[in-house]
Each structure stands twice: as C-alpha cells, then as structure tokens.
Amino acid sequence: MTAHAPFVLLALTQDPGNPTDGPADKGQAGGGAESTATQTPGGPAPGQVNPCSDPNTLMMFGLFGLLMYFMILRPEQRRRKEAQKMMSSLQKGDTVVTNGGLHGEIAAINDKTITLKVDTVRMTFDKAAIVRVERDEAAKGDAKK
C-alpha cells in the first residue's frame, strides 16, 4: 500500500480541468501534440508580443536609468568634488569641525591625517573626518552683510 502513495500524490497535484496536462492525453490522436506544436516552450502564445521586447518597456527602462542618473548619481558626484576641493584647501590654522562635532584648529597636516589643537590638547584625525571649515562660513557670513 505504501508503494502506491507517490502515484496518488502525483495524481492529486494535476489539474483535472486541463485535459492536456495528464500523461494519458499525449498518446491520443488530436491530443496535446497539435496544441504544443504552435507554441514555443516558455515563450508567449501565438499572436502575443514578448513583454521584454516591447518598445515601451525598453523606453521605460531607459527613462528610469536617466532618472537615476540625474536624481542620485550626479548630485553625489557633485558632493564628492566639493568635499575633495575642501580637503585640498585645508591650511594650518584653519578652524574645522569633525564628523563627531569636535571643533578645533589645525596644528599639522599630513597626507591622510590632520592634527587638531583643542584648547591645550592635540588630537590626530583622518582627513575624511573633517566635514566643515569654519573660515569658509565666516567669509560667507561677512559677504552677506
């Protein structure tokens, strides 16, 4: 009795409403052989357009790509250039703010590090930790007045 259990499960999983599903219909004349001859396996039915080759779909992907470029990639490139420009213009004696909120004066500059003087203490930070230069903001504030 247990040897027939897999066949029972297979029979229960087939759709009884579709006559071309079962193995018994393949051998009959006029069965599923004629209906599958006009269809490509995995492709669209005859008379239907493949949705991946539809020109409207391809145009939407192109528009989405342009939208992503102008909304995300281009502003990020602009911010990166501004940060690089700020890093290259750092000078000894500038007052800066780190990404942790620490305000200090630049005491020494190396290739990748900056030594900040805060009161009487000197601390070393990566250049990437600098987010703002105070002298630039003071010059902008004076220009507005």
Domain 91-144 has CATH 2.30.30.100: yes
Q: 65-78: per-residue pLDDT in tens? A: 999 998 999 999 99
Residues 6+ apart with CB under 8 A from 72: none
Span 92-135, pLDDT tens digits = 999 999 999 999 999 999 989 999 999 999 999 999 999 999 86
Domain boundaries defined on the chain: 53-84, 91-144
> What is the pTM for the complete model shown?
0.49
Instruction: Please state the length of the chain.
Output: 145
Which helix or strand (DSSP H or E) is residue 9 part of? Answer: helix 5-13
